[in-house]
Amino acid sequence: MTRSFLGWPAFPEAAEREVGNRQLRENVRRATHTIRGKRAVLAAERPDWEALRDAAAGIKDQVLANLESHLLQVEEKVTAAGGTVHWARDAAEANRIVTDLVRATGEREIVKVKSMLTEEIGLDAALEAAGINARETDLAATIVQLGDDLPSHVVVPALHRNRTEIRDIFVREMGRHGRPAPEGLTDEPAELAEAARLHLREKFLGAKVAVSGANFLVAETGTLVVVESEGNGRMCLTLADTLISVVGIEKTVPSWQDLEVFLQLLARNATGERMAPYTSTWTGLGPSKGADGDGPQTFHLVLVDNGRTRALADPTGRQALRCIRCGACMNICPVYERTGGHAYGSVYPGPIGAILNPLLKGLDDPQTASLPYASTLCGACNEVCPVRIRFTDVLLDLRAQVADGGKHPVERAALGAVGGVMEHQAAWKAAVKSIGLVGPLLLPRKIRLPGPLGGWTDSRTVPAIPRESFRTWWKRTEGDAK
Ligand code: SF4
């Protein structure tokens, strides 16, 4: 049975479990530091880097403001090019559409191009329940699938694994799903890549149906774009007779000129490369077999909402829909570095997961309501995001929504009381003065508050309280406190 994040515990509980795993922390630290170092060098190479970020954010905001008309244009162009467009409101509808389409072909084994959206909607499990075996073809996604594991990063789903663990998975599992790992396989990267290549080649050559996502959807021509490093996507897109692309509605860009901006940003920001090794684009059907011979003879595009219009309705949070899934916010995040991706209980971990999951799913569930707190608010993610998402603004807004919704009544009451005092200058001055007088005497540096507040004080030290406030100090030294 395909594993999923369904029923995952809230972030504090899941993170506590993950930070106890030294091997995982070491794997994540090494991988994120390597990628972010390469990204920093490549971003600094471009004198127009900040202008590109501005342009990307502007294009995405324009798309989000006019999403309906762009999507209708996509539908018109894809249909004119011989494809069929399907609309899915949620995960269940998307899974039903894809399952029915695969069933109609009569195939029982299909290949997949790595797609976070199909992970988000649990497509593999839905296909499995219908007796259809979907095999991943991206190397990292293959490692996750063979290891009966879950993705922990949007670009490198097996980032939490080191090469010895990967070798063990290959030796143990490859034979159960096709061509076994070669005899005497070591953990040398070249040998591991060759083992994966041989195992996957059988899948590519045998598959009649492929499922992909897309990084971008160019509205003016109805063209889908997949950006990848290994060429497995190109194989799936060109060899299969039937191609089913499952794409989030926010992936739209208006024109090829707009696409150019994102292609300059994505690879540099994601993997520290000037260009991705493979950028595949396709519009509707491929040429007829027997002519050029490449490309699908049947093409379906499934456009998926699954909470995106809910996120769009949030005035502060809607900027999360600009995300192009480069993973840079994960690679820079001090929380992600220590917990890894599984602690976030979603295929979208790290800073983008902390805001996108609550926006897509709502804050009623304790798991999603815990995510806006999975941040130190250091703002490092703000600095690396190619589409200028202001994570700290969204996190604070979501925390306010959680508090307003009664999920944290103690925090809400405390903030209400503080707010009441701050609104009245005399009360505020008196409070500050009395804290300065009695605080240092009464408050030890390490305290434990009772009940649910204990979780807060367990991991914090009370800062030393100065004997006089800034206002008092100013008045004493400068003579005039306003
Ligand atoms: S939120 Fe920004 S930095 Fe994070 S994955 Fe998306 S585009 Fe990249």
Q: Is residue 162 part of a domain?
A: yes
Do 318 and 312 meet the contact criterion of CB atoms below 8 Å apart? yes
Cβ–Cβ contacts within 10 Å for residue 378, how many?
Answer: 15
Model pLDDT, residue 445: 67
Q: What angle do CA 196, 200, 203 make, to 5 degrees?
A: 165
**DSSP alpha helices (H): ranges in 223-307?**
232-239, 256-271
Residues 304 and 421 in one domain: no
The verdict on 274 and 423 lying in the same domain is no
For residue 356, which atom of ligand 1 is closest to its CA? 1
Residue 352 lies in a domain: no
Per-residue pLDDT band at 411 (split at 50, 70, 90) = low
More confident residue, 482 or 106: 106
User: In 3D, which of 21, 35, 84, 86 has the Cα closest to residue 342?
Assistant: 21
Looking at per-residue confidence, does 451 or 170 come out higher? 170
The least confident of 169-183, 204-218, 357-371, 459-473 is 459-473
For residue 39, count CB atoms less than 10 angstroms from its CB and return exposed for 0-12, middle for 13-18, buried for 19 or more: buried
Instruction: Tell me if 279 is assigned to some domain.
Output: yes
Percentages helix, strand, coil for the chain, rounded to the nearest 5?
55, 10, 35
- Choose which residue among 52, 321, 352 to substitute to test ligand 1 binding: the one with the highest number of ligand atoms within 8 A of its C-beta: 352
Cβ 385 under 6 angstroms from ligand 1: yes
Q: For residue range 81-91, what is the model confidence (pLDDT) as tens digits?
A: 999 999 999 99
What percent of the chain shows pLDDT beyond 70? 94
27 or 412, which is more confident: 27
Q: Could you say which of 308, 334, 365 is where a domain stops?
A: 308
Q: Is 36 in the pocket of ligand 1 (CB under 6 A)?
A: no
Query: What are the residues whose beta carbons fall under 8 Å from the beta carbon of 47, sequence distance 6 or more?
Result: none
Range of the domain at 443: 409-478
Number of separate domains in the chain: 2
Residue 31 and residue 159 share a domain: yes
In a domain, 323, yes or no: no
Residue 392 lies in a domain: no
Q: Residue 141 domain-assigned?
A: yes
Report the pLDDT value the prediction gives residue 429, as an integer from 0 to 100.
81
Which atom of ligand 1 sits closest to the CA of residue 320?
A: 1
Which pLDDT tens digit goes with each residue over 211-253?
999 999 999 999 999 999 999 999 999 899 999 999 999 999 9
Q: In the sheet where 216-218 sits, what is the strand order?
A: 252-253, 216-218, 223-228, 278-282
Substitution candidate for ligand 1 out of 60, 154, 326, 394 with most atoms within 8 A of CB: 326
CB 110 near ligand 1, within 6 Å: no
Measured in Å, how far apart are the chain's first and last C-alpha atoms?
67
- Of 308, 333, 351, which residue constitutes the final position of a domain? 308
In-domain check, residue 151: yes
152-182 per-position pLDDT tens digit: 999 999 999 999 999 999 999 999 999 999 9
- Which residue has the CA at smallest separation from atom 3 of ligand 1? 385
451: in domain:
yes
What contacts 24+ positions apart, CB below 8 Å, involve 172-177? 173/146, 173/147, 174/146, 174/199, 177/135, 177/146
**What CATH number should be reported for the domain holding residue 257?**
3.40.50.10420
Give yes or no for residue 325 CB within 6 A of ligand 1: yes
Tell me the average pLDDT of the chain.
92
Strands 242-248 and 209-212: parallel
| One-letter amino acid for residue 453 of the chain | L
- 155 touches ligand 1 (CB under 6 Å): no
Task: Categorize the per-residue pLDDT at 458 as very low, low, confident or very high, splitting at 50, 70 and 90.
Answer: confident
Give the distance (Å) from ligand 1 centre to CA of residue 266. Answer: 10
The answer to whether residues 41 and 179 belong to one domain is yes
Which ligand 1 atom is at minimum distance from the Cα of 154? 5
pLDDT over threshold 60, residue 386:
yes
Domain boundary among 251, 276, 308: 308
266 in the same domain as 135: yes
Q: Which residue has the higher pLDDT, 135 or 470?
A: 135
Q: Is the CB of 371 under 6 A from ligand 1?
A: no
Rounded to whole angstroms, the Cα distance separating 27 from 25 reads 6
CA of 190 to the centre of ligand 1 (A): 30
For ligand 1, atom 6, the nearest C-alpha belongs to 323
Rounded to an integer, the average pLDDT of 259-277 is 96
For residue 341 and ligand 1, the question of a CB distance below 6 A is answered with: no
Query: If pLDDT is split at 50, 70 and 90, which confidence band does 408 have?
Result: low
User: With bands split at pLDDT 50, 70 and 90, how would you rate the model's confidence at 473?
Assistant: confident
57 lines ligand 1 (CB under 6 A): no
Structural contact between residues 456 and 449, judged by C-beta atoms closer than 8 angstroms? yes
CA distances from 317 to 55, 365, 389 (A): 19, 18, 9
Q: Is the CB of 327 under 6 A from ligand 1?
A: yes
Q: Is 328 in the pocket of ligand 1 (CB under 6 A)?
A: yes
429 and 302, same domain (yes or no) = no
HSE-CB for 238 with a 13 A CA cutoff: 11
Tokens of residue 92, six digits: 């269940």
> How far is the centre of ligand 1, averaged over its atoms, from the C-alpha of 93 (Å)?
27
The minimum-distance atom of ligand 1 relative to the CA of 325 is: 5
